[in-house]
Structure 1
Amino acid sequence: MRILAFVIALIASAAVARAADELPIFDAHMHYSHDAWSVVPPHEVVEILKKAGIKRAMVSSSNNEGTKMLQDAAPGLIVPELRPYRSRGEISTWARDPTLIPYLEDLLSKRKYRAIGEFHIYGADADLPNVRRVVELAKQYGLYLHSHSDADAVTRHFQQDPNARVLWAHSGFERPEKVREMLRRYPTLWCDLAFLTAHVSNGKVAPGWRELFIEFPDRFVLGSDTFTPERWHYVIENARWSRQWLSDLPPEVARKIAYENGDRLFGGGQ
């Protein structure tokens, strides 16, 4: 009887492992910026995404031509996101650039996007006029704000628009207690998990984060963050690693984080 129970347990464990290995992924944090175009051409990006088992990818780029190139190559695969950077050097200057808002308004009038971001902003800088206008544009066009920020800046987004829909980039950099506090306070806040590495060890999720995922299974999405051209060569490995730690969660929670939340939030048209 014990041997039979052991065999059944092994079969069940193998079935769970196979299901995790086959989990499709919605990657909500990818970039295809100007310095990646010649290193990883659009057709190679599409092949990488397919080999990684990524069913949809939300992509932004500096400048935004990279997103358009990928969307033209695989419209059913790419979810377009409008980034307020025309080159890498604008990460620290965009919030004070007087030419930025006309640039964004022009692009928004010509193409459809699902989010504005990923943009970097911290603390009181979230109250600068450019950032306030970005919050207004997101409201006007029904877009998500993909904000690489501290909790202070995220709070300021919601002070400017209590109904803003915010995707908090790299929320794994924060303490789980703080993320829990923010998710309880703001029902239209979601978190991307790009670079969650510090909270996963040997395929196991750290206790504080595990409880957080189970409490808020509808509020997290995955992201690989291809912020440099070289990162594209790690997309398949990152997807494999994500499936490994997701297998440590209840299957219904794993499915939501892997792709169901991304589909629900970003997958549809405007």
Structure 2
Amino acid sequence: MGPHMRALLAFVSLLAAAGTASADQELPIFDAHMHYSHDAWEVVPPKQVVEILKKAGVKRAMVSSSNNEGTKMLQDVAPSVIVPELRPYRSRGELSTWAKDATIIGFLEDMLSKRKYVAIGEFHIYGADADLPNMRKVVELAKKFGLYLHSHSDADAVQRHFQQDPTARVLWAHSGFERPEKVREMLRRYSTLWCDLAFLTSHASNGKVAPGWREAFLEFPDRFVVGTDTFTPERWHYVVEHARWSRQWLSDLPPDVARKIAYENGDRLFGSKLGVGQ
């Protein structure tokens, strides 16, 4: 091969690499873990939230809020972008009390009678507390209304969800806090379990997918979604950076797997439920 041909091939390779980099940067994101609670409304007004999502390339976001009014506020300004889930907290202060508060179930039933949601959550529950009457009733409500359970839980609690309803559809929030081997074990055991990767970095470092997690993503490419977790108002200012970081480590996976985790899984599972997917 002559020098001119080698130079031409090198130039073509550079163009291909540049095209790949551009595609990575433009990879849409379905963010499956966002909150817009009462303490964020004045700090980051609804129209600013929508602009942040647009700048980040987040095509759709599944949002919950305490007291759920924030979710409605965002839907009002961006109905094709916001996918609503119902949170069992009337204020952020109920995070540690909701599971034993007898008034919560009436609140959820009232909300479900008024508006459509795709999930109940994100709620916090661990271990044997998943067998408390409130949590059992939430599992029943999810089944009755055909909703996902967005559960910030340990593996023990997730297992109890499925013991109560083997057909439950569970999105395991922050599942990446578990060891990847345990996550793979759970995904093999429960065919209607999905995992969100919100607010953790253990699955990727320096733009590369960590060992163990790579095997999990390749074995279960249809079972993971990304999430930012805007649990405080300040987190909204990291949405663009988080989306950029997500694209970086996703680019270390095969393109079809990256697309599924970035947005296709979220659209299929949650967006299409309200007729806004694809």
Helix, strand or coil at the partner of 2:272: coil
- Trace 1:217-256 onto structure 2 (pairs within 5 A): 217-256=221-260
Q: Offset of 1:3 from its aligned partner?
A: 4.4
Helix, strand or coil at the partner of 2:242: helix
Helix, strand or coil at the partner of 2:129: helix
Q: Does 1:140 align with 2:149?
A: no
Q: Does 1:211 align with 2:215?
A: yes
Q: Offset of 1:5 from its aligned partner?
A: 4.3
1:16 touches 1:247 (CA, 8 Å); kept in 2?
no
Helix, strand or coil at the partner of 1:197: coil
What residue identity is the alignment partner of 1:116? I
Q: What TM-score does the superposition give when structure 2 sets the normalisation length?
A: 0.95
Structure 1 stretch 9-18 or stretch 191-200: which is displaced more? 9-18
Q: Offset of 1:73 from its aligned partner?
A: 1.1
The whole-number CA distance in structure 1 between the counterparts of 2:30 and 2:130 is 28
Q: Does 1:63 align with 2:73?
A: no
CA RMSD of aligned residues (A): 1.1
The whole-number CA distance in structure 2 between the counterparts of 1:254 and 1:214 is 10
Q: Could you tell me which residue of structure 1 aligns to residue 94 of structure 2?
A: 90
Task: Provide structure 2 residue ranges, at least 5 long, that are not aligned to the other structure.
Answer: none
Q: Offset of 1:88 from its aligned partner?
A: 1.3
The whole-number CA distance in structure 1 between the counterparts of 2:268 and 2:131 is 30
Q: Could you tell me which residue of structure 2 aligns to residue 112 of structure 1?
A: 116
- Trace 1:40-55 onto structure 2 (pairs within 5 A): 40-55=44-59
Helix, strand or coil at the partner of 2:228: coil
Q: Could you tell me which residue of structure 2 aligns to residue 81 of structure 1?
A: 85
Q: Could you tell me which residue of structure 2 aligns to residue 260 of structure 1?
A: 264
Q: Does 1:173 align with 2:177?
A: yes
- Trace 1:194-209 onto structure 2 (pairs within 5 A): 194-209=198-213
Q: Could you tell me which residue of structure 2 aligns to residue 164 of structure 1?
A: 168
- Trace 1:25-36 onto structure 2 (pairs within 5 A): 25-36=29-40
Task: Provide structure 1 residue ranges, at least 5 long, that are not aligned to the other structure.
Answer: none
The whole-number CA distance in structure 1 between the counterparts of 2:212 and 2:13 is 28
The whole-number CA distance in structure 2 between the counterparts of 1:195 and 1:44 is 22
What residue identity is the alignment partner of 1:27? D
1:80 touches 1:115 (CA, 8 Å); kept in 2?
yes
Aligned-residue sequence identity (percent) comes to: 83
Helix, strand or coil at the partner of 1:36: coil
Q: Offset of 1:35 from its aligned partner?
A: 0.2
Q: Could you tell me which residue of structure 1 aligns to residue 195 of structure 2?
A: 191
Q: Could you tell me which residue of structure 2 aligns to residue 19 of structure 1?
A: 23
Q: Offset of 1:219 from its aligned partner?
A: 0.3
1:55 touches 1:77 (CA, 8 Å); kept in 2?
yes
Q: Offset of 1:4 from its aligned partner?
A: 4.5
Q: Offset of 1:195 from its aligned partner?
A: 1.8
The whole-number CA distance in structure 1 between the counterparts of 2:160 and 2:42 is 38
The whole-number CA distance in structure 1 between the counterparts of 2:36 and 2:157 is 25
The whole-number CA distance in structure 2 between the counterparts of 1:178 and 1:8 is 43
Cα deviation 1:73-105 (Å, max 9, x = unaligned): 111110000000111111110000000000000
Larger radius of gyration: 2
The whole-number CA distance in structure 2 between the counterparts of 1:140 and 1:260 is 26
Cα deviation 1:157-188 (Å, max 9, x = unaligned): 00000000000000110100000000000000
Q: Could you tell me which residue of structure 1 aligns to residue 134 of structure 2?
A: 130
Q: Offset of 1:17 from its aligned partner?
A: 1.4
The whole-number CA distance in structure 1 between the counterparts of 2:162 and 2:42 is 39
